[in-house]
Amino acid sequence: MSYRTALAEVLTRAVAPCAELTGTEGRFPRGAVTAFGATGLLGLTVSTECGGAGLGLPEAAEVVTRTARICPATAAVLRSHYTAVAVVESYGSPWVRGEIAAGRHLCSLALVEEDAGEQETEVQLLMPRCTAVRSGGVVALRARKRRVVAAGEADSYVWSSRPLGTPNGLSLWGVPAHAPDLFVPARPDSTGPPGSATSTVFADPVLVPAEAGLGADGDGLDIVLRTVLPWLLELRAAAGARARHFAAVGVRPALTAESLAPS
């Protein structure tokens, strides 16, 4: 089954029936995310060697665009997931990549610490305040990450910090969502589409293995510039135009023949 066929099925069977509740009650679209995983769409951009579809940014953008026509919250979750997976695909463990490909692992981004508007800016992404202190084989990350999509719902976060032992630069980590001492408030932030579980994640600190680094220590700046920003901006544009259209005309997205059609 092609990814377009799988997407049309998921949009009809799982996304559309809960889209209104997601938007009006702010309920996280867990059923939709599960359906995306079961049909291989969460692993759309994971390499075939790890069990994924081996596709890229254009296909991910199409999935986000078509999903945003029906449920902006689900589209926001996918946008963050696909961007995080782009990093994990290059620097993460084969096991995590296999879990994503199998539809059992949802990723998200935890990169923003300054509360300076609804959209992430390049400066916000490139200048983390999060400290990283290593003791033996363990690294302590201490931060308050803002506007994390699927906070408390994702299985792991691509997390930014200052490099070990220096105040300048940037490092990236894969932080399991079940790690002790990660705290997500019961009520989500007001930012992000209702139902996207966009919230602040507190680490005071969170302990991760030193091997959880995504790329070499201090190489995060290049990864953000070359991978995170291109994916994030392209996928935001894919979803944003449709969301602005519905906001302008004052109607809620609905399942139509147009919404199911490929771009």
pLDDT tens string 196-230: 999 999 999 999 999 999 999 999 999 999 999 99
Domain holding 121, by residue range, is 3-260
152 backbone dihedrals φ, ψ, rounded to 5°:
80, -5
What mean pLDDT do residues 62-86 have? 97
pLDDT computed for residue 125 by the predictor: 81
- Position with higher pLDDT, 203 vs 261: 203
Give the 3-state secondary structure of residue 175.
strand
What mean pLDDT do residues 94-116 have? 92
Give yes or no for residue 168 having a pLDDT over 50.
yes
68 backbone dihedrals φ, ψ, rounded to 5°:
-65, -25
What mean pLDDT do residues 156-166 have? 93
What is the pTM (predicted TM-score) of this model? 0.89
The amino acid sitting at 171 is S
Please tell me the distance from the alpha carbon of residue 156 to that of residue 190, in angstroms, as a whole number. 22
What mean pLDDT do residues 108-119 have? 76
Q: Find the CATH number of the domain harbouring 67.
A: 2.40.110.10
164 with 217: CB under 8 angstroms? yes
pLDDT computed for residue 44 by the predictor: 98
pLDDT computed for residue 167 by the predictor: 77
Give yes or no for residue 71 having a pLDDT over 70.
yes
Query: What b/e sequence results for 71-96 when a residue is b if at least 16 CB atoms lie within 10 Å of its CB, and e otherwise?
Result: bbbbbbbbbbbbbbbbbbbebbeeeb
Sheet holding 199-209: strands in order across? Answer: 131-135, 138-148, 199-209, 182-183
Give yes or no for residue 104 having a pLDDT over 70.
yes
Give yes or no for residue 119 having a pLDDT over 60.
no
Structure tokens at 216: 């070499």
Q: What DSSP string describes 35-87?
A: HHHHTT-TTTTS-GGGTS----HHHHHHHHHHHHTT-HHHHHHHHHHHHHHHH
pLDDT computed for residue 255 by the predictor: 45
Give the 3-state secondary structure of residue 54.
coil
Confidence of residue 241 (pLDDT cuts 50, 70, 90): low
Query: Could you give the count of Cα atoms lying within 13 Å of 237 in the half-sphere of its Cβ?
Result: 7
- How many other C-beta atoms can be found within 10 angstroms of the C-beta atom of residue 14? 22
Structure tokens at 138: 């363990």
- Position with higher pLDDT, 235 vs 120: 235
Q: Which residues are registered as beta bridge partners of 262?
A: none
Please give the mean pLDDT across all residues of the chain. Answer: 88
Longest CA span, the chain: 57
Domain count, the chain: 1
